[in-house]
Amino acid sequence: MGLFRRWLILLVAVMALPAQAADPDSYAGLVVGVATYEEGGYSFNLSSATGRLGYQLSKAIAVEARLAAGGSGDSYGATYRLDALGSVLAKLSWQPFSDSEAYLHLLFGASAARTTSSTTGTSQSNNLHGGSYGFGVDLFADRDRALNFEWIRYLQGDISGTSPTAKYKLSSFGIGYLQRF
């Protein structure tokens, strides 16, 4: 069974648990930042915007879906573009100080992306998928609004069909806004 299917089954199982929160919440947000793509000897920094929609199952557990679009970057005659990125993530939160509104969080899940890379007139599209993980902090101004900072490794692995096999990493650092409703 593929890694993506395992994460999807895990997330569906978590969503099927009885609500353990006294006050579950839906939320939406936007994260803007810099996505970094590394492949072979190339490294590209791209601006990115990520929309997120989630459901807080309890104070400590949320499930979240993300859709991102990125820009393109150039490095030594090569161009790279992030066409689309989608993720399904479990978000585990922890409030280290009971009197503060800061929550540390870990993210685990799966992502899929479509990318395009070009070098000297040749263009190649890639469909990438795999496990994702990250961490961050949510700083709540009140019960419904938060500013967040996070780093996430969306994807890493080998690009099939390349000789020699090319390794890649796609990660992002961003600042975002979250609104509960």
pLDDT digits (tens, 9 = 90+) for 72-127: 777 777 788 888 999 999 999 998 888 888 999 999 999 999 888 777 778 888 88
Fold annotation for 3-11+23-180: Porin (2.40.160)
Q: How confident is the model at residue 20 (pLDDT cuts 50, 70, 90)?
A: very low
Beta carbons of 85 and 127 less than 8 angstroms apart: no
Q: Is 9's pLDDT higher than 80?
A: no
Q: Which is nearest to 86 in space by CA: 132, 136, 117? A: 132
pTM equals 0.81
Determine the Cα–Cα distance for residues 142 and 137; give it in Å rounded to an integer: 15
> What is the mean predicted confidence (pLDDT) over 57-67?
91
- Report the distance separating Cα 151 and Cα 173, nearest Å: 4
Q: What's the sign of the alpha-carbon dihedral 117, 66, 143, 108?
A: negative
- Out of 8-12, 80-84, 142-146, 176-180, which region has the weakest mean confidence (pLDDT)? 8-12
